[in-house]
Amino acid sequence: MKSLLIRFTKDQSGATAIEYGLIAALISVVAITTLTTVGTRLNAKFTAISNGLN
């Protein structure tokens, strides 16, 4: 039982998976924020162009 507990405390694979998950979540948040901002600005440009053509 003691060796199982020691082996469990030294296992780093769970920590690595959590770190990769946090990095992926951060990248997703940045991508969503960027795309939302670009989409809003692009929509404003197309509206301005449409109004200019009318």
Domain ranges of the chain: 1-53
The whole-model pTM stands at: 0.60
Distance CA 40, CA 54 (A): 21
What tokens does 47 get?
Answer: 């509206």
Select the more confidently predicted residue: 7 or 9: 7
Cα–Cα distance between 29 and 21 in angstroms, integer? 12
**pLDDT class for 10, splitting at 50, 70, 90?**
confident
